[in-house]
């Protein structure tokens, strides 16, 4: 088997990024090591990137939240002359499998969304300071920042040249952020996305592609001035110190992943992976001082980190396990108490960050292209934030009444106030609002039962699970469902599930993930882009792709 892709990293092992901290301002320098590609066969020239570069950026984004809460402004810039970032490495894309390309685009989107949301979620405003060429995914990095400054010189421009050069599209958020976030006029966006050379100077600002254009001689001073201004205007409270994010305790076997709180069992013959979450081993801390002392060992932070890592591992390294089965075991009252401590102290920076992190982890589950099922068994602890998983999955099954020989506590679901808006989906709605779209009375009925341990009959009456099953039917019904799911086309399942999960309004985020990744998925399969004579294979040869001209 090939070496699995590892999503754990830390600043001591970064090859592509450098960070300088200056009180409330941090500067993140993109300085990609050309010879530091994740795979063989390409060089990361001109600050182009692959998944390895993005894994480091995701780690920077996470550590900025937890380890450096004193930071109010983050400046992203290039450490190389005359280039900001050339985007995703074309040789890498040309040589990567289809599945890797699509998963790479999804992870890239999730990383960008995380630092884009940092201003609203954490009070950390990201600034892109663009000197030199900023093209394709490089401009998409800038677009995800909250403010863009561009040098006014002959070599600095912003561009989305994928359509003319590669026969693909700016599908990791570029098209959507240009229109929805930057509010660029549609016809100008059409021009912008159709030209290789991009747009520079005053036109880039006039078209709202950037926020500010600054003479080269004044650029560095202006960036520093803006960072200070934004930091001074920030409402983010001053925080003296953060907590350390230490390496996860993880062991990978041939057919399993073992963490302290998460176990993953892989059934290759059945094309499924079972993820079991453990409840807390002790009572919730008394206050946030005790949470601070626990640091990354605090139950809900530790569980979130382990679950996040497990989901990413399964996405990239176990691609034939098409069904993810979620289980839990523990005391639901202890889970609820840990979460309520955070909610009661939501104005504390660490409590806020842990809640915001769970929002991102749950979105990661929503966006995972696998069939998702949850089993609410006796002894389970689906309460509050863990109950969100029941509303993220495609189906859920719950044990009803006693099971012969099973002396675990009766299966229950415990709703918390958090299930009604703390962890919104990409569509901006809670998972219960999405589940009961058009049925507000069902949401109200569920809300009236907050804090009550709901056994199977009541959970079924409230619509919180798909099926409740007794001792006689449980094993057979679950087996039949899993065998049926494994028999269906994975492509049909991905399309069906991705459409059904996101009822309700369109947002910039749903458009990025729903429409654009679907289009990118299709385009990456077409010979015009990836065929032997396609644009990705011919890139750099001076010969354009040989296109099939059918419009389909």
359 domain residue, yes or no: yes
pLDDT of residue 84: 98
372 domain residue, yes or no: yes
Q: How confident is the model at residue 494 (pLDDT cuts 50, 70, 90)?
A: confident
474 domain residue, yes or no: yes
pLDDT(120) > 90: yes
User: Which of 181-185, 234-238, 278-282, 520-524 has the weakest average pLDDT?
Assistant: 520-524
Where does a domain end: 494, 511, 526? 494
Place of tokens 């106030």: 417
Same domain, 229 and 255: no
287 domain residue, yes or no: yes
Same domain, 264 and 208: no
pLDDT of residue 541: 86
Distance (Å, whole) CA 502 – CA 198: 34
Distance (Å, whole) CA 537 – CA 531: 7
pLDDT of residue 307: 98
pLDDT(552) > 80: no
Span 495-506, average pLDDT: 90
Span 186-202, average pLDDT: 96
Strands of the 157-159 sheet, one edge to the other:
83-85, 133-135, 157-159
pLDDT(1) > 70: no
* Strands in 356-435 per DSSP E: 371-376, 382-383, 395-399, 413-414
Distance (Å, whole) CA 389 – CA 239: 32
Strands of the 125-130 sheet, one edge to the other:
17-22, 25-30, 73-78, 125-130, 147-152, 212-215
**DSSP assignment string, 221-272:** HHHHHHHHHHHHH--PPP-S-----PPP--EEETTEEE-SSEEEEEETTTTE
Which is more confident, 2 or 512? 512
Span 214-240, average pLDDT: 96
pLDDT of residue 532: 87
Tens of pLDDT, residue by residue over 336-352, are: 999 999 999 999 999 99
Same domain, 357 and 483: yes
Distance (Å, whole) CA 265 – CA 272: 8
pLDDT(416) > 60: yes
% of the chain with per-residue pLDDT over 90: 87
Span 40-49, average pLDDT: 96
* Torsion (CA) 110, 112, 117, 119 in degrees, nearest 10: 150
The number of folded domains in the chain is 2
What is the number of alpha carbons within 13 Å of residue 351 lying toward its C-beta?
18
422 domain residue, yes or no: yes
Same domain, 122 and 159: yes
pLDDT of residue 522: 81
pLDDT of residue 3: 83
Distance (Å, whole) CA 457 – CA 468: 7
Same domain, 33 and 163: yes
Place of tokens 């075991």: 329
Same domain, 487 and 373: yes
Local structure of 25: helix, strand or coil: strand
Q: Could you tell me which of 187, 139, 182, 178 has the C-alpha nearest to residue 161?
A: 139
Tens of pLDDT, residue by residue over 123-173, are: 999 999 999 999 999 999 999 999 999 999 999 999 999 999 988 888 788
pLDDT(414) > 80: yes
pLDDT of residue 366: 96
Tens of pLDDT, residue by residue over 69-108, are: 999 999 999 999 999 999 999 999 888 998 899 899 999 9
Same domain, 383 and 410: yes
Same domain, 47 and 195: yes
Q: Which two tokens stand for residue 40?
A: 């063989």
Same domain, 147 and 263: no
Compute CA distances 309 → 149, 247, 263, 302, whole Å. Answer: 34, 11, 12, 11
Tens of pLDDT, residue by residue over 529-550, are: 888 888 888 888 888 888 888 8
Distance (Å, whole) CA 234 – CA 207: 27
Residue numbers of the domain that contains 71 = 11-233
CATH number for 363: 3.90.226.10
Same domain, 154 and 272: no
pLDDT of residue 207: 98
Where does a domain end: 233, 264, 286? 233
Local structure of 535: helix, strand or coil: helix
Span 303-307, average pLDDT: 98
438 domain residue, yes or no: yes
pLDDT(15) > 90: yes
User: Which of 47-56, 441-450, 491-500 has the weakest average pLDDT?
Assistant: 491-500
Q: How confident is the model at residue 390 (pLDDT cuts 50, 70, 90)?
A: very high
Where does a domain end: 233, 261, 279? 233
pTM of structure: 0.96
Same domain, 488 and 389: yes
pLDDT of residue 539: 85
538 domain residue, yes or no: no
**Cα radius of gyration rounded to whole Å, the chain:** 24
Tens of pLDDT, residue by residue over 351-375, are: 999 999 999 999 999 999 999 999 9
Same domain, 374 and 482: yes
pLDDT(453) > 70: yes
212 domain residue, yes or no: yes
pLDDT(111) > 70: yes
pLDDT of residue 19: 98
pLDDT of residue 380: 98
């Amino acid at each position: 088997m090939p070496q699995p892709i590892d999503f754990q990293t830390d600043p001591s092992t970064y090859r592509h990024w450098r960070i300088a901290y200056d009180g409330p301002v941090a500067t993140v320098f993109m300085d990609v090591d050309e010879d530091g590609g994740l795979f063989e066969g390409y060089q990361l020239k001109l600050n182009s990137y692959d998944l390895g570069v993005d894994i480091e950026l995701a780690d920077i984004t996470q550590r900025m939240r937890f380890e450096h809460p004193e930071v109010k402004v983050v400046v992203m810039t290039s450490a190389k002359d005359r280039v900001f970032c050339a985007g995703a490495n074309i040789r890498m894309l040309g040589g990567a499998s289809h599945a890797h390309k699509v998963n790479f685009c999804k992870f890239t989107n999730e990383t960008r969304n995380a630092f884009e949301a940092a201003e609203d979620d954490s009070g950390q405003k990201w600034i892109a300071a663009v000197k030199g060429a900023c093209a394709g995914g490089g401009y998409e990095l800038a677009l995800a920042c909250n403010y863009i400054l561009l040098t006014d010189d002959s070599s600095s421009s912003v561009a989305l040249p994928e359509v003319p050069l590669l026969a693909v599209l700016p599908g990791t958020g570029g098209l959507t952020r240009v229109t929805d976030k930057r509010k660029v006029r549609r016809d100008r966006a059409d021009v912008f996305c159709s030209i290789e050379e991009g747009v520079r100077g005053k036109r880039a600002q006039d078209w709202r592609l950037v926020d500010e254009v600054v003479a080269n001689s004044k650029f560095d001073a202006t960036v520093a001035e803006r960072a200070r201004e934004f930091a001074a205007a920030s409402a983010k409270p001053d925080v003296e110190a953060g907590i350390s994010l230490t390496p996860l305790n993880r062991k990978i076997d041939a057919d399993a992943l073992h963490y302290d709180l998460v176990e993953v069992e892989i059934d290759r013959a059945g094309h499924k992976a079972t993820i079991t979450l453990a409840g807390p081993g002790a009572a919730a801390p008394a206050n946030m001082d005790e949470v601070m002392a626990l640091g990354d060992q605090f139950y809900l932070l530790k569980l979130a980190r382990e679950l996040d890592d497990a989901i990413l591992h399964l996405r990239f390294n176990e691609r034939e396990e098409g069904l993810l089965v979620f289980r839990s075991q523990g005391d639901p009252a202890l889970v609820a108490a840990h979460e309520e401590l955070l909610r009661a102290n939501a104005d504390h920076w660490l409590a806020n960050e842990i809640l915001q992190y769970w929002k991102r982890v749950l979105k990661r589950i929503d966006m995972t292209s696998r069939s998702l099922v949850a089993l609410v068994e006796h002894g389970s602890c689906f309460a509050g934030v863990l109950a969100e998983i029941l509303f993220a999955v495609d189906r859920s099954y719950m044990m009803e009444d006693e099971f012969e020989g099973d002396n675990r506590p009766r299966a229950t679901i415990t709703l918390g106030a958090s299930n009604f808006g703390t962890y919104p989906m990409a569509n901006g709605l809670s998972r219960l609002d999405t589940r009961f779209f058009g049925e507000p009375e069902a949401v109200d009925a569920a809300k009236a039962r907050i804090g009550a341990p709901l056994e199977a009959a009541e959970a079924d009456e409230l619509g919180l699970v798909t099926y409740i099953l007794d001792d006689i039917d449980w094993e057979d019904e679950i087996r039949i469902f899993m065998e049926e799911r494994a028999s269906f086309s994975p492509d049909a399942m991905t399309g069906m599930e991705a459409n059904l999960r996101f009822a309700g309004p369109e947002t910039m985020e749903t458009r990025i993930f729903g429409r654009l990744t679907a289009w990118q998925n299709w385009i990456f399969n077409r010979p015009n882009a990836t065929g032997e004579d396609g644009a990705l294979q011919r890139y750099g040869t001076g010969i354009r792709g040989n296109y099939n001209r059918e419009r389909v």
